[in-house]
A and B are shown apart, each in its own frame.
Chain A
């Protein structure tokens, strides 16, 4: 089945800094999603992005499906951006027809 790897595992930023989180996946995918888990455990969907680029405020994401990776960009980071960012990939029609999650990138934004 699909393997999903995220890097870096941990990231500490000063407020106002920019960052790039990476997600590599081992096979072609029909669906790629980015989630943010806040310190209380709530998961919020950030992007549904099987290919191309999307932007939402200070966040943007790019998936290059042919090269099997996706990037999440956070600009002008704020303390409320802290938490864990998960990438999840889905390969409909494969033996694992479900979302497969990476282990996440834990982001800490310091004031």
Chain B
């Protein structure tokens, strides 16, 4: 089955701790994205990557970091600099970013601060 997987489903972070959220896709898509969703809100873009070894900041990148070493993988690290990390994190991919094609989403990771 082609699709996007995210892990873990739930993640708990302690104060001062960095945590990494996993995102894998087997759709052979070039572009991948990370979004944050707060309760009652739409999605906001954290980072995106158009191609391997390249990524760009989105609207709310502060306190987050990413890497894109493989086409299939786009992990997101929530650093201790992110003071309000509790949210629902969604990863997405698309064939191409430039044409704004359909984005496909993973099931999400809920991050909670202890």
Contacts and interface: CB of A to CB of B under 8 A. Distances in A.
What is the size category of the interface that chain B forms with chain A?
20 to 34
A48 B42 contact: no
Contacts of B98: 92
A48 B40 contact: no
A11 interface: no
B100 A103 contact: no
The secondary structure that dominates the B interface is: loop
Contacts of B43: 86, 88, 99, 101
Interface residues of A, number: 24
A41 B110 CA distance: 10
Interface stretch (B16-24, B61-69, B71-79, B101-109): B101-109
Interface string A28-43: 0011010100001111
Given A48-B101, A98-B97, A101-B43, 13 more contacts: A30-B99, A30-B100, A40-B107, A41-B90, A41-B107, A43-B90, A45-B105, A48-B102, A86-B42, A88-B42, A92-B99, A98-B59, A101-B42
Interface of A: 4, 30-31, 33, 35, 40-45, 48, 86, 88, 90, 92, 96-99, 101-104
